[in-house]
Amino acid sequence: VIEREALRCNGCGESFTAPAPEGVGTQKYDETVPAMVALFRFGTGMPYARFARFQQNLGVPLPASTMNDLVMQSAEMLEPALEEVMRWAAQGQLIHQDDTVMKLLDRPDLALEGKKDRKGVYTTGLIARHGRNRVALFITGMQHAGENLADLLKRRMADLPKPIQMCDAAAVNTPNKGQALDTIVAHCLAHARRKFVEVVDQFPEECRHLLEVLKEVYKNDAATQDLSPPERLAYHQEHSGPLMKDLEQWLQAQIRDRLVEPNSGLGKAIAYMVKHWQRLTLFLREPGCPLDNNEIERGLKRAIMHRKNSLFYRTQEGARVGDLYMSLIHSAELNGANPFDYLVTLLRHHAFVEENPEEWMPWNYLETLAGLNLPG
């Protein structure tokens, strides 16, 4: 913090301010400040007021209102990067989706078309994969995950094959009126497994059998991490296929032979798995299909952490800005990039980013930056 002495002439009333030390420019906050504030706010869930107290204790006061202004102003320069992330996500081979509840204080309390009774606000999380690269998107509003995914897929090129849509079996993962998306739907095996874990104390033997089978399937999946999608598929078909076939026969026998009460917790868990068996086992038929939706459930913890610490967004614009920063921060993390360095780079070179945003993605921005040959 540099404070320049200011004196006023008693005769003429003119004020004179001491010159700044050599090397200190006129810019009060450089690009690292909004980047760091955004990283604390949307990367770790620290509210502005708490961060302001932290800054006060460091002897570098930074009011919460100033932080908010800096973050909101900087968001405009990051819009081209987010647009490119959304365009790229729409072309993904695999898209994970899920959502969580969110609170928005100042919003028009108008129902969506065809959703007369909808009052809730949700944050949808989407993670798209193409090859080894991944991006994350967070979208807060009154739409559910299926509706947000439908909007995203409008950006998809028509000549691309259908993407794999990984989700659970909830109705909100499809658009309004249950309209199917032009995707290959896979359901989360971990979600189905969790239903058995919840009743394992009441039905230990039956649940143990299923859990042991799935344990072997997950071991097989761990052994395929360095394989290509076709090689991984072949490995699962050879090693996991027989296990899942036997498990399917066991599940059907429990119902057919009336070995379980249909209305019990175990009966409902078995019925869920039998009903969605084809989508739960898509990893045995489709290259690149994961076993579960855990990746986006981990990603949504960022929004949940924000909700628990800050409780709510005040306005829809604030929610949009929060989504922007969460999307860019988590996309950088998914690709092994430094989120702080990534945000600073996008802000410092926003003019270049606006011209060619595809060259400033988390996996190629360092190469692009090196090619600029900037002085210093």
Residue-wise DSSP of 325-366: HHHHHHHHHHTT--HHHHHHHHHHTHHHHHH-GGGGSTTTHH
Greater confidence, 235 or 175? Answer: 235
Which two three-digit tokens encode residue 101? 């509840």
Separation of alpha carbons 134 and 116, rounded Å: 36
Q: Mutual orientation of helices 241-256 and 229-239 as an angle, nearest 10°?
A: 50
Please report, as a single letter, which amino acid is at residue 32: T
DSSP state of 18: P
pLDDT category at 375 given cuts 50, 70, 90 is: low
DSSP state of 173: G
What is the average pLDDT across 173-198? 86
Residue 4, Cβ density class (10 Å: 0-12 exposed, 13-18 middle, ≥19 buried): exposed
Which two three-digit tokens encode residue 24? 């200190």
Greater confidence, 203 or 22? Answer: 203
pLDDT-above-90 percentage for the chain: 72
pLDDT on residue 304: 92
Separation of alpha carbons 336 and 162, rounded Å: 27
- Which residues are 130's β-sheet partners? 133
Report the C-alpha dihedral over residues 170, 219, 254, 251, rounded to 10 degrees. Answer: 50
- Is the pLDDT score of 175 beyond 90? no
User: What is the pTM for the complete model shown?
Assistant: 0.88
User: 356, 300, 363: which is closest to 326 by C-alpha?
Assistant: 300
- Which residues are 124's β-sheet partners? 99, 139
pLDDT category at 181 given cuts 50, 70, 90 is: confident
Q: How many residues does the chain have?
A: 376
- Cα radius of gyration (the chain): 26
pLDDT on residue 189: 94
Greater confidence, 280 or 376? Answer: 280
pLDDT on residue 247: 94
Q: Residues near 341 by Cβ (< 8 Å), separated by ≥ 6?
A: none
Q: pLDDT tens across 196-221, in order?
A: 999 999 999 989 999 999 999 999 99
pLDDT on residue 354: 94
Run of H or E residues at 28? none
pLDDT on residue 28: 80
Which two three-digit tokens encode residue 260? 């379980």
